[in-house]
Structure 1
Amino acid sequence: MPSPAAAPAPQVSAVKKPARWWRSWWRSLSPTRQDRFAALAPLAAVLMFLTAIAVSFWYLRTEEVEREKEALRRDVEYAQQRVRLRLLERQEQIMRLARDLSNQELERSEFVTRAESLISQYPELQAITWIDERRRIRATHAAPTVTSSQLRMNGEVVRAGDTADLFGLARDTLQPVYSQPSLTGGDTIPLLQLQVPLAPAGKFAGVVLAEYSIDSLLRYGTPTEVLARYAVTLLDGSNHLLAGTPLPPRASGLLPWTTKANAYQVPVSPVGNGLVLRAQAWRTSLGMVGSGLFWLVGTLSVMTAWMLIATWRHTRRRMQAQQALIAETNFRRAMENSILTGMRALDLQGRITYVNAAFCQMTGWSEAELVGQMPPYSYWPEEEHDNLHAKLDEELSGKVAPGGFQVRVQRKGGNLFDARLYVSPLVDARGQQTGWMTSMTDITEPNRVREQLTASHERFTIVLEALDASVSVAPLGSQELLFANRLYRQWFGSQTAGHLQLVAQAGGLPMHRTDEASHDEDGLMGLPTDTLTSARSENAEIYLPDLGKWLEVRSRYLNWVDGRLAQMVIATDITPRRLAEEQAARQAERAQSVSRLITMGEMASSVAHELNQPLTAISNYCSGMISRIEKKQIAEDALLTALQKTAHQAQRAGQIIQRIRDFVKKSEPNRQLADVQEIVGEAVELAGIELRRHNVRLSHYVAARLPPLMADTILIEQVLINLMKNGAEAIANADRPPAQRSVELRVVPRQVDEQEVVEFTVQDTGRGLAPEVLAHLFEAFYSTKSEGMGIGLNLCRSIVESHQGRMHAENIYNGPEVTGCRFSFWLPLA
């Protein structure tokens, strides 16, 4: 009968395995570590409890603050939409009023009546003013709440200020413009201004100025429920309060997570960043009960932790006395085994009495094999015995230099290495010398590195000697020359005179002082050497008459190998480059003169036609006078009048010829203070001859009171004439009808990259430029004309850039259709 199957062995539960591991780990610890863990466990439990309480309070408070922030953001955006809608409604009403004025459907009395109706109906409107194109107030009406300093009178001219600046912006853009004028007195109230331009038939005819009370806008535009829940204010772009009452700063609360008042702000459209709506939530907190509970739990936890720490420190002090004994025993053994320097002790006869582990590891011999040996020792190479015996005799006699000496040491395997030995007397506790202590350091690797550095220095020196530039290094405040390559010695010799001359002409720091105090005082005392050595090198181009060369000098401060602050100067011969630059400048000047001659050659027929009129008039006057004199039918007054007209026509012809002669004559560039009005006038008069030949109208506008430019007037006139002549030719090639044949020149001030400039713009009504032409328009010898040379626009750009300006070209579009081209360039103010 078969035996029953054996029952399976019982499985150890998953819960018992960690418990057994924990007990095994605990029993493996020493009693000291068990006591330490037993003391730290209660402290950790108390700290974890306190942390859990603090995190719970913080989490609840954070959730509450987030909900408040979300509600605040939603309410503020709702209020912003209401204020924006109210502003847009008032803007639409002002625009209707401006449209009626533009269409001449309103008289002054009707305007005042409608303004009074709007102001009485909408409390945020404080004043409505009609200003004509000359900034003169035609009619105005204000609310009774407007202060006397802010009232406007009929016939008054709007002077320079915020309102005048806004007037100019509305005139240029022909769009409604908002602004907030600055407050000039303590009794004025903050106002928001809206200027709507009057543009009958597209021509600017003034503005309708509406002024809003910012306080009333906040009071009547913000929903009541938002004003009830939050402290709502209106601020300007600089966060200055305009309306409303903000919450006072909160004092820090009792709880560590006490937060500041929730606040949210958004800009009010269409005003933009100039008017900001801000709301602050009223104070919310957990109250005294929540604060008291938190601090009670925290105080109890801190007291419990303090008592546990005191008990643990008492136990630790008792254990420190026991550990000090063990540490004192292991200290010296640890020192011997941890240092990498080999230590060897000899008695007075030269017998080895002690070696450390590092010495044994260096030589490969064990302590038992080395202790007790007499010279020659087993780690001495055979070929070095005589030398090492002599060294040992010096060592035992105490004649070894403090810097030690270098020897060759043989390992047990036969390998050799370099070592440096330092010897000092070994004195016992009673002050008597019992032998000599020798420390041995393996210097094989430092020797190898030193040899590599020597070879690297040689290579570096060879490279510097072969350079085509002069290189010199000298310390600051000294006449010593630390380094000079071959080219420097060839130019200046082996003294520092050349180095100092290069530094002086390049504008560097003084290398030495010439007064008597320089012998005892450092001229660069207190200078931050880190800043000097990390600074970028500076370049300068100088001319040395002694060498007859132009040199590019670069200098840099560096810390020399001995720690002194030195200056390195590199001088490169750039004489060929300077000669090439001077030749290029002369060629450019000739090209400018040739361009002016070409321009006048192209305009020759127009100039001849322009001169024909005064010459024909002179001929007619002279013929008429001769005829009447012969017939004796002319009186003295008639003769005088005819002669005056003849002289006037002759002067006119002479002026035309003189302007052409001044324009085309060759002259050196002469930059001086130039009046923009005079430059434009001369250019317009010369270019007008060519434009009239092409039947093109020329209009120009120059802003008033423009500051003078530092420029060459002839060159700038050349640029303007070339641009206007090109515009006339583009219109002629486009075959535009007479109504569309016009070239406009505008000169206005601008600001480019925070720099005040004057912008010149020449706009024509031709067919514009193709994209591939725009990409190569200013390149030399590139032209769109069959007979063009391709140097006109390239020279124009070169002239503008030589005046530190920039030139740009772009097409003018009316939808998808190109209606002309605009060339513009700007020049910085003097």
Structure 2
Amino acid sequence: MTAVPRSFRSGLRRLSSWRGWSLWVLLGVIVVALLVTLVYLAARYEASVAQANVERDVADALSDIRSAMTRNVQELQALQSGRADLDRWQPEAERLLREHRDWVRLERRGPGLELVAEADTPYRPPVFARLGRANSLPEIQQACAGARRISGHAYARSHFVPQPDGLGLELMELCLPHVEAGRLLGFVVATYSLTDLLATHIGPQMGRSQEISFTEADGTRLAIHGLARRGRRVFTAQQLLDLPGNTMVLRMDSWRRSEPDLFPNVLTALVTVMSIALVTVLFTLGHDTRRRLRAEQDLADALAFRKAMEDSLVTGLRARDLQGHTTYVNPAFCQMVGFSPEELLGQGSPAPYWPPERADEYRQRQQVRLAGRNAPPREGFESVFMHKDGTRFPVLIIEAPLINAQGLQTGWMSAVLDISEQRRVEELSRASQERLQATARLATVGEMASLLSHELNQPLAAIASYAHGSMNLLQQNAPPAVELRLAMARIAEQADRAGRVIKSVHDFVRRRDQAREPVSARELVDAVLPLVNLQARKLRVRVEIRMADGLPSVLCDRTMVEQVLLNLARNAMQAMDDAHVAEPELVLEVRATTAGEGGRRWLAFSVADVGPGVAEEVKGQLFTPFFTTKVEGMGLGLSLCRTVVEQHGGSLVFEPNLPQGTIFRFTLPAQPDLKA
């Protein structure tokens, strides 16, 4: 039988899957369409019912208003029946105004519309008090002219009258002629408030749920009654209020808080619920199918990813069950020991890669591990494995419990690292470290020689100067003994200083803790002052010392701090001499300061000159070792000064000495509770 190609089988599965999904989609579309149609028809039905209710309400309201206005006309006719005098007419009018809140004024006028008597409603201030009644006379004339023409009551078009409270009223005039035996005796004029007309003759329940208004034919609102809660949909109905002489539109707006009910009856609700349930089941099944297919695809991808990761690892992986049998090895482990997976899987102890001379030791260690009495260290442990060809090599083994999906331990997982190359690199690193230490010792010797040659220049120069002076004194016929003795003492002093410099530089290079002692600022300055004055006289520099009394002592290495002062002073004098300053001046100042937490006291030493200053391109490298601007300089003086000051806990900085020159300033911590 001919085998079916794999690609053809895959295509058939995809086609079957596509057909299955098509049926599900078609069924879902039909159910959704039926549900949408049912909901749409139910919504239309609810909307038509809501609109019919609004139209019925506006018709009932219009009927109530017409009946009330007809009764009002009848009561006005009773008011003017007979030839009642004014004394009787006035109380009757006031009674009618108390009974009818929609009237704001009643008037009795003569045949020529002259005002005979009037009465205002007791429920509000007189509405014509602000502008007067004359402004409304055209509307009265219109209503009365119509009433005389038709021999009955007539209305005028509504008009707006402002009120003192900033609002206003929309009023409508009603004129009723008084005719006896065919002769016109006068008119009765009643003034309606359209807002009160609506409020009086519209039911309170209707006003709470709807908004009712009088409008003109073009939609202009004349009066509004009711406070409706606006919703997303409004239903509107209008009815024409045709009065003799005037026509208005009664409009009613009803807002729904939400869309019309979707379920007007139980059957529709039942069908809708069943349809929703069916759609939910369809979507749930479809979602579950998609999740299952996605999970299968993810599982296949995870297996492929795991396989690719295991094949790319250089770390050997080995799994053993609780009986010590090997259940899994990765390609890296097989390559490490030289055995194939078939030769390793299922093997117990001794393992083929155990050296025979260590088999007993490994067996005992494995029994302890499997018994659970000794947990493996997290950092792993070192061991020795044997390659298939008999070669031994060191390994680092990191073991962890193998836990299944139920949380139970089923064995041990081991990560095995071949550390042969690491051991070789460690040996090379150890040898290289020894060579570096030897090189560092040679560099220290060179550094010491450089520092000694730099620091010994000053005492040796002083010794040479005193020796030349002594020789000049000896060439005299009678050399003065006192001056020779002083010169010899200076030579001895500078020779002793040179010895101290050698010892301090030696300790400094070897980073030893120098012996520090409390020294007053005066002693430090006096120690270097002879050498400073010696060079100052040679360069014709005026030296000024500024030092307050009562300065505290400093705990320092006396020789190194004196060397810092001397280096800064000599550099300042050389800078002024190289710049050919006309009047060179050197100021050495010492003062006490307070800074830092707890108000710690410091001594600030400053050396100021009037030289050319420090150039901008030099400022960033001024304290760099072996950087110098002098032709014969070594570039170690300022670097050594800053290192010495920082070792004492202070700092060395420089700043311009306005208007000309530079100030070098360094600080040293003061000795507590000690006076200079």
Work out whether the TM-score is over 0.5: no
Scaled by the length of structure 1, what TM-score is found? 0.32
Which of 1 and 2 has greater Rg? 2
Larger RCO: 1 or 2 (CA < 8 Å, sep 6+): 2
What's the TM-score once normalised by structure 2's chain length?
Answer: 0.37
